């Protein structure tokens, strides 16, 4: 199917379709791609940022703010007693103060001369995209969930919020976590679902997880995006030729490591 729809995370993850994150894990092995993903503490912080800034109603449903009489130390009696009465994740007043600083810094950031607040307020948030690709004469259902889609006339901007330790080192994360594939994958989706658009851009909004909560935006060049397209295409080809064994991890072989170019002159 080709559609754009608002779905909960649960319904999105249970929907048919190959996602960018699934394909990247599949490149590692089928077993990795079908193993239930465990959210790390860093990912939980990223989720917290997302919900507070982009989905305030979901934030209120998922989190509770503890009164000042409750200690942040989970070993204390006051925390344990309070936690017994809660079915939400517990936050504290200083957590909220920091979240408000993060939101303010993002909103006040000037993106090409205009506050991001304006783009965020006028964007569609957390939409699920489903589209079909034709690869090797086969229909391939793909899917993605986008943070923000800003559309004006025949132009669109996809904004993606990334929690980082240092905004200036984001280029390393783009390579290590293959964010260039995400950018290309999502751009392709919107271009297929909105063929009338003459321009689709993908902008990363990076925000630091520690004070002073710096913000910086990034856009990848065409060569970087093309590399992402090629890698995703090859991942889908590999998936289509897969034998269906979900327990397969790595091949039984010795991997020969070659000295990298940057070390050859050493």
Per-residue pLDDT tens digits of the chain, which is 266 residues long: 999 999 999 999 999 999 999 999 999 999 999 998 787 888 888 999 999 999 999 999 999 999 999 998 889 989 998 998 999 999 999 999 999 999 999 999 999 999 999 999 999 999 999 999 999 999 999 999 999 999 999 999 999 999 999 999 999 999 999 999 999 999 999 999 999 999 999 999 999 999 999 999 999 999 999 999 999 999 999 999 999 999 999 999 999 999 888 787 65
| Burial label, 40 (beta-carbon count in 10 A; 0-12, 13-18, 19+) | exposed
Which strand (E) or helix (H) includes residue 63?
strand 63-65
Please tell me the distance from the alpha carbon of residue 59 to that of residue 47, in angstroms, as a whole number.
10
Q: What does the domain layout of the chain look like in residue ranges?
A: 42-122
For the whole model, what pTM was predicted? 0.91
φ, ψ at 56 (rounded to 5°):
-55, -35
Cα–Cα distance measured from residue 224 to residue 174, given in angstroms and rounded to the nearest whole number? 10
Question: How high is the pLDDT of residue 260?
Answer: 86
Residues 69, 77 contacting (CB under 8 angstroms): no
Distance of CA 209 to the CA centre of its chain: 15
Token output for 124: 């569609």
Q: What are the angstrom distances between the C-alpha of 9 and each of 42, 143, 144, 145?
A: 18, 12, 11, 9
Q: Provide the token pair at 4.
A: 């754009």
Task: Please list, residue by residue across 102-120, b when 16 or more beta carbons sit within 10 angstroms of its beta carbon and e when fewer do.
Answer: bbebbbebebeeeebeebb
* Residue 266 pLDDT: 58
């Amino acid at each position: 199917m080709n559609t754009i729809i608002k779905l909960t995370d649960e319904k999105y993850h249970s929907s048919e379709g190959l996602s960018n994150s699934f394909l990247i894990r599949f490149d590692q092995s089928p077993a990795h791609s079908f193993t239930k993903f465990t959210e790390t503490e860093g990912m939980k912080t990223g989720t917290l940022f997302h919900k507070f800034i982009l989905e305030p109603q979901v934030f209120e449903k998922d989190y509770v703010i503890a009164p000042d009489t409750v200690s942040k130390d989970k070993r204390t009696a006051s925390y344990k007693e309070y936690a017994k009465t809660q079915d939400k994740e517990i936050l504290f007043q200083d957590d909220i103060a920091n979240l408000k600083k993060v939101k303010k810094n993002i909103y006040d950031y000037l993106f090409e001369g205009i506050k991001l607040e304006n783009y965020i307020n006028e964007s569609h948030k957390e939409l699920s995209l489903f589209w079909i690709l034709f690869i090797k004469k086969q229909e391939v259902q793909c899917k993605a969930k986008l943070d923000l889609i800003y559309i004006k006339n025949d132009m669109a901007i996809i904004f993606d919020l990334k929690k980082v330790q240092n905004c200036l080192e984001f280029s390393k994360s783009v390579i290590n976590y293959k964010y260039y594939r995400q950018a290309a994958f999502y751009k392709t989706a919107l271009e297929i679902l909105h063929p009338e658009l003459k321009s689709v851009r993908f902008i990363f909004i990076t925000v630091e997880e520690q004070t002073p909560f710096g913000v910086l935006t990034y856009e990848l060049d065409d060569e970087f995006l093309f590399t992402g397209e090629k890698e995703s295409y090859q991942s889908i080809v590999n998936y289509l030729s897969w034998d269906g064994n979900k327990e397969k991890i790595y091949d039984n072989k010795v991997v020969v490591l070659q000295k990298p170019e940057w070390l050859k002159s050493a």
